[in-house]
Amino acid sequence: MRSWLPSTKWRSLISSGTAYAQSLNWGSLTYAQTAIVRAALSERYAPNTTKRIIAALRGVLKECWRLGRMTHDEYARAADIAPVRGQAPPRGRALKGTELERLFKSCNVDHTVATIRDAAMLAVLYGTGLRRSELVRLDIGDFDSESGVLTIQGKGKQMRAAYIVEEARPVLDRWMRVRGRISGPMFFPITKSGHLLSKRLTCEGIAHVLAKRAGSARIEHFSSHDLRRSFVTHLLDAGADLAVVQKLAGHRQISTTAIYDKRGEAAKLKAARLVRIPIGS
């Protein structure tokens, strides 16, 4: 919590400048003080950031009540913070079809170990919408080569199935032949001389690979999460049901899936044209 109470100005809001987050008596907070904090946060941060910080504040207040640092009535009043309205434009982008084509084409220029691995990584990230952390945790044992099903461990250790589409199978099979069938991570780091290192890729390593691939394909920089946004956007654009896409993406709330939709005004216009008004001549 110190990130939002670092300065004398912020500390003066609820402690007269006498305490940082670590030393503050959170159980003594009143509604008047939490209301001041909400107003100050709304002035300084975007709505989404303010909502997250207020949610954290409510969580701290609830722990104070559980620990007997404040009565239930004191907790209820202090946590009764007015909702924050508004929402900042979603970050990130969805890659265009031409960008994806150039990405995979850049991996087919040569058939080095690195390009074979990178093509397989791109196919899994885009084709299944995995988070970067999920790709890092992926083991070869999580892939059923007969059915093409990946077993994914998502956030909160929630398990879900992902499906390797037909176009991605040859790319992944090629990598499997290079990697071998020994147990361990699905994707290994590769040395400059082209040797596999029998250890797990890191999130930073994946980001480095994607930055390198963007440069090779001469497209705008993108992140693994942009590939995830592309997965959601392109599925919705193809007519997939929003609730089904939510399950494929591993989102707990369908509202989160909707935020990933990058189709914009063109999709709204396309939908609006589906309306038929029975106006006679």
The answer to whether 251 is a known catalytic residue is: yes
Question: pLDDT band for position 19 (50/70/90)?
Answer: low
Rounded to an integer, the average pLDDT of 91-98 is 90
Structure confidence at residue 6 (pLDDT): 45
The answer to whether 131 is a known catalytic residue is: yes
Choose, from 38, 132, 251, 262, the residue flagged as catalytic: 251
Answer with the residue of higher pLDDT: 126 or 14: 126
Choose, from 51, 75, 132, 260, the residue flagged as catalytic: 260
The answer to whether 200 is a known catalytic residue is: no
Choose, from 11, 38, 51, 131, the residue flagged as catalytic: 131
Question: pLDDT band for position 157 (50/70/90)?
Answer: confident
Choose, from 155, 221, 252, 268, the residue flagged as catalytic: 155
Structure confidence at residue 77 (pLDDT): 95
Choose, from 52, 102, 225, 263, the residue flagged as catalytic: 225
Rounded to an integer, the average pLDDT of 12-21 is 63
SS3 content of the chain, % helix, strand, coil (to 5): 55, 5, 35
pLDDT digits (tens, 9 = 90+) for 193-252: 989 998 999 999 999 999 999 999 999 999 999 999 999 999 998 889 999 999 999 998
How wide is the angle at C-alpha 267 spanned by C-alphas 266 and 271, nearest 5°? 120
Choose, from 132, 228, 229, 234, the residue flagged as catalytic: 228
For residue 15, is pLDDT > 70?
A: no
Rounded to an integer, the average pLDDT of 11-18 is 60
**Half-sphere exposure of residue 268: CA atoms within 13 angstroms, side-chain side:** 4
Q: Which tokens belong to 248?
A: 């494929």
pLDDT digits (tens, 9 = 90+) for 123-144: 999 999 999 999 999 999 999 9
228, 260 contact by CB (below 8 A): yes
25, 34 contact by CB (below 8 A): no
Angstrom CA distances, 266 to 103, 136, 149, 261, 273, stand at 25, 35, 33, 12, 11
Question: pLDDT band for position 48 (50/70/90)?
Answer: confident
Rounded to an integer, the average pLDDT of 108-115 is 89
The answer to whether 225 is a known catalytic residue is: yes
88, 47 contact by CB (below 8 A): yes
Angstrom CA distances, 215 to 19, 81, 131, 209, stand at 48, 47, 22, 10
236, 220 contact by CB (below 8 A): no
The answer to whether 273 is a known catalytic residue is: no
